[in-house]
Amino acid sequence: MEEVSAADQLESIKSWQSTIKKLENAFAQMTQKGTNITLVKKRLNASRIGLAVLENVWNQKPHQYFNEDIAEARKVLIEITPSVEHSYAKSKAGSPQQTLLERRLQALKLAVQAIDALSAK
C-alpha cells in the first residue's frame, strides 16, 4: 500500500465517517418509507468495512470482519467508484462538492488498496 500522510489519513477517515452517516440516514428514511433498502444496505456495509480496514492498516485497530465480507466490500467499493467519478466530473471546479467528491474518491482508492494489502498477508 502506498505511503499516506497523516493529514490524508485523517481526511479519508473523516470522508468515510461522513459517507457512513449519510448512508445510515438514507437507510433509516428508506426503511420508514418501506422502499427497497438492498443497495443502501450493501453500500453501508461496504463503507463500514472500508473504514475498519483503513483503521486497521493505519492505526492497528482490530476489526471483526471475515475475509468473505471484506472481499464483497472490495467489490462493492469498486462498483461505487465510477458513480463518484461521474459526479466529480460534473461538479463545478473549486466547489465544496468537488472537494468532498475528491476526498471520497481518495478514500475509496485507499480502502481498496488497504483491502488488497490485507489480503496479501
Mean pLDDT value of segment 92-101: 94
Q: Is residue 82 part of a domain?
A: yes
CATH, residue 19? 1.20.1440
What pTM value is reported for the model? 0.93
Q: Is residue 1 part of a domain?
A: no
Q: What's the pLDDT band for 85 if we cut at 50, 70, 90? A: very high
Q: Is residue 72 part of a domain?
A: yes
Domain count, the chain: 1
Domain of residue 20 covers 6-120
**pLDDT for residue 116 is more than 80:** yes
Mean pLDDT value of segment 31-60: 95
Mean pLDDT value of segment 3-17: 95
pLDDT score at 97:
94
Q: Is residue 37 part of a domain?
A: yes
Q: Is residue 30 part of a domain?
A: yes
Q: Is residue 69 part of a domain?
A: yes
**pLDDT for residue 66 is more than 80:** yes
Q: What's the pLDDT band for 56 if we cut at 50, 70, 90? A: very high
- 67: cell is 475475509
Q: Is residue 76 part of a domain?
A: yes
Q: What's the pLDDT band for 118 if we cut at 50, 70, 90? A: confident
DSSP 96-120: HHHHHHHHHHHHHHHHHHHHHHHHH
Q: Is residue 34 part of a domain?
A: yes
